[in-house]
Structure 1
Amino acid sequence: QLQTADLKVIILGESNVGKTCLLVRYLEKRFEEFPKATLGAAFTLKMRGKHNIAIWDTAGQERYLGLSIFYCRNADVAIMAYDVTSRESFKALMTRYVQLLSMVDDFALKVVVGTKIDLLGTKKRQVSVVEAEVFAKSLNPGWTAEKAPYFETSSATGENIDQVFDYIFEYCTREHGLLSCCLNNVHEKDLKTVTLTPRTLQLGKTVANCCL
């Protein structure tokens, strides 16, 4: 049964930064060390109170960039993910992925998420917290809050994963009146995750359209 999403969240970033791991940790409370690469995109509808939240996990491969533009359409929130031990993954956000934000909603929240902080014990940090916070604020023109929309996470340990999504839902409630009356009495239910590829879109356009 197709359902309409009340809030659309899209996750962007290079391959291997841990986008799928982040989503699996949030939805299933487990760490998937070797996830299969996302082909095209996959979305999950998650109920929060009476509202359906569509969370889109997009492919990081460059050949899918055109499809990512399509999936970004009218998104309410964009999560920009990079690996804190990879300077190149951060630079890709500023060059390749920032252009996709023209497709999201005009008032969309952009949250920058540094992943894999559990590796900092053995690998060197390549992006400072200050630099990432400045970038996060720059993605949200007119940002006045003291805290930047930036988090550092670990899908391996679960650190700050729930905080990212709680922050998103609370922000959308406060700023845009979305998800009101459901944050204090949360009942969550996961629906089947659907993977969308160019072939899927050709064979079953209604599946893609239910949450676009």
Structure 2
Amino acid sequence: MPEVSKMKKPDVKIVLLGDMNVGKTSLLHRYMERKFKETVSTVGGAFFLKQWGPYNISIWDTAGREQFHGLGSMYCRGAAAVILTYDVTNWQSLAELEERFLSLTDTANHDCIYALVGNKADLTDSKAQLCQDSDGLVKDRTECNEECEVPSGCPTPPASPTSLPGVMLRKQVINEDAVTLYGRILRYKGLEEKSSLPAEKMCFETSAKTGYNVDTLFETLFDLVLPSILRKRQENQQSPTVDLEECRMVGSKKGRSGCC
């Protein structure tokens, strides 16, 4: 395990918010580990560190359960981007974003970017059932399912049923619903739609199971938060921080070399 002093410091933070069972953890595993995992419910929060060019981006996964709700604002503190995630087959999961989770983003950066993501698109859209590998190549879903991992123990039951091959479920949340909510998010934040990122660029539909649109989601956000990273680095150069560990070492050397 690397020493704390040698661990990479993140340049910026991205946070996933949303109700339980919408697939936040599975989205993160799909992007970071290139495979699908049926996961148990997240307790508290967890994060991955992603190197994007010369920059380090921390991606935080948060618990959707009610008992961990209060932790959300802590994880959102200083966030440069928030991914508000819902299940396209569950209308209530979209409503919960506005009712329970939007207020948690009050601790995010004033210029925070918001993305609305409808996961489990493979249950309602045939094109989302096609798997995508790390090179963006499309392959058959049967082949993709061989890569899926199911951990030992009982995973949390999904909020929506599993789709049978060739049988699509009814889609409860259409793209227009997400676009409308995005507009309300901007108004809640006191932002003007004309000067903000357009809804068609910030509303996504994904499938953690097949990888559909997952790379597009994260990499779009990485590009959009680059100005925040550059501004933060410039501020740090203008107001350099003091390395306390280094100061202690220097002080210790001076103490040993001094006269009695």
TM-score, length of structure 2 as denominator length:
0.65
Q: Equivalent residues in 2 for 1:44-123 (5 A)?
A: 44-120=48-124, 121-123=167-169
Q: Which runs of 5+ in 1 are unaligned?
A: 181-212
1:156-178 deviations in Å (ceiling 9; x for gaps): 111100001111122223xx253
- Aligned residues with identical type, % of pairs: 37
- The CA RMSD over aligned residues, in Å, is 1.6
Equivalents in 2 of 1:5, 1:139: separation in Å?
27
Partner residue of 2:220 out of 167, 173, 176: 167
Q: Which runs of 5+ in 2 are unaligned?
A: 125-166, 232-260
Q: Is 1:128 paired with 2:174?
A: yes
Contact preservation (8 Å) 1:84, 1:126: yes
What amino acid maps onto 2:102 in structure 1?
A: V
Equivalents in 2 of 1:3, 1:13: separation in Å?
28
Q: For residue 136 of structure 2, what is the aligned residue in structure 1? A: none
What amino acid maps onto 2:183 in structure 1?
A: K
What amino acid maps onto 1:75 in structure 2?
A: A
Contact preservation (8 Å) 2:52, 2:222: no
Q: For residue 22 of structure 1, what is the aligned residue in structure 2? A: 27
The 1:29/1:44 distance shift into structure 2, 3 A limit, reads same
The 1:6/1:143 distance shift into structure 2, 3 A limit, reads farther
TM-score, length of structure 1 as denominator length:
0.79
Contact preservation (8 Å) 1:13, 1:60: yes
The 1:170/1:64 distance shift into structure 2, 3 A limit, reads same
Ranked by relative contact order (alpha carbons within 8 Å, sequence separation 6 or more), the top structure is 1
Equivalents in 1 of 2:98, 2:229: separation in Å?
28
SS of residue paired to 1:178: helix
More strand by share: 1
What amino acid maps onto 1:130 in structure 2?
A: E
More helix by share: 2
1:53-84 deviations in Å (ceiling 9; x for gaps): 00000001010011111111111000000000
Contact preservation (8 Å) 1:137, 1:149: no
Q: How much has 1:107 moved relative to structure 2?
A: 0.4
Equivalents in 2 of 1:177, 1:95: separation in Å?
28
What amino acid maps onto 2:12 in structure 1?
A: L
